[in-house]
Amino acid sequence: MQKRISPILSVILILAFVSMACSASAAPTPTATPVPATNTPEATATNTPKPTNTPLPTATPNVAATQRIEDFNSILQDYASNGYIGGTEGKITELDDFHEDWAQLGWYQWWPQDKVSGDFVFKSHFAWSTASNTPETSGCGIVFGMQENNDHYAIFIDKGRILFLMGRGSHIYNVGKTSGSGRLNYGNPAEADLIVAVSNQIAYVSVDGDVTKYTLSADQTSSGTLALSVLSGTNRDYGTRCEMTDTLLWVAK
């Protein structure tokens, strides 16, 4: 897999390698394992004087978090006005910062987050790098609509384009754009703001404010598990490294 290949064959090979990633031989998807509870003895009752009433300290607001939510609500209002989503009623969840790397050329790994049903909007700041100076397609991304049989959609930000994939069974397909360029121009390392809005089998992918529209398959749902993902462009060293910060997920009621 480390031989040089012609540009004409590179896309075909990438899809072939990505297809292998979702096969039974792919590395297992990392999942959270619960820590067993320890056996803690019950406390015995004692005659303790009642404490005096002391007022609780006033909570200090997280100004940065509040500002992120306000900015996100503004985006939701704009997206609803533009018809990207059906409305703004729903639940906003702030996801933990993400730091992972992956070093298997043409494969992507994912880390499940939440179950999503219906309209959703995902927003995050991506920062990524690849250990090779001439990597194949690689970058940060998300997986959504993941089913128990591993059918899913995946979106990645590469240095030169948006890569939008649909996994069905053991096959991976490109999802063609309906409008917009889908082209990018980043170096290595790179940073970008990603917003993905999905409603009624239409996906709007915004990279630093430039929106590309995609039409999803009529017979493959976009509801299911949402995961954070890394697509590796090299086997060298750490492969492709990805960081996601200020990550918010809105799911419609």
Q: pLDDT (tens digit, 9 = 90+) per residue, 130-167?
A: 999 889 999 999 999 999 999 999 999 999 999 999 99
The total of structural domains in the chain comes to: 1
Of residues 238, 236, 168, 211, the one with CA closest to residue 82: 211
| Structural domain of 163 | 64-252
Q: Is residue 153 part of a domain?
A: yes
Residue 117 domain-assigned (yes or no): yes
The answer as to whether 92 is a domain residue is yes
Residues near 233 by beta carbon (within 8 Å), at least 6 away in sequence: 105, 130, 132, 135, 136, 137, 138, 139, 158, 239, 240
d(C-alpha 213, C-alpha 84), whole Å: 10
In eight-state DSSP terms, residue 183 is: B
Collapsed DSSP state (helix, strand, coil) of residue 74: helix
Asked if residue 14 is part of any domain, the answer here is no
More confident residue, 166 or 40: 166
Is the per-residue pLDDT at 242 higher than 80? yes
Task: Kindly give the residue spans of alpha helices, DSSP state H, lying in the chain.
Answer: 7-21, 63-81
Instruction: Flag whether 240 is in a domain.
Output: yes
Contact between 107 and 223 (Cβ < 8 Å): no
Q: What is the pLDDT of residue 7?
A: 40
Q: Are 242 and 138 in contact (CB under 8 A)?
A: no
pLDDT at 63: 81
Residue 111 domain-assigned (yes or no): yes
CATH of the domain at 211: 2.60.120.560
> Smallest Cα–Cα separation from 100: which of 199, 239, 248?
239
**Contact indicator for 239, 103 with CB cutoff of 8 Å:** yes
Residue 55 lies in a domain: no
**What pLDDT, on a 0 to 100 scale, did the predictor assign at position 61?**
59
Q: Is residue 36 part of a domain?
A: no
Categorize the per-residue pLDDT at 64 as very low, low, confident or very high, splitting at 50, 70 and 90: confident
pLDDT at residue 190 greater than cutoff 60: yes
Residue 42 has pLDDT above 90, yes or no: no
Distance CA 18, CA 141 (A): 14
- What's at 233, amino acid-wise? G
Predicted TM-score of the model (pTM) = 0.76
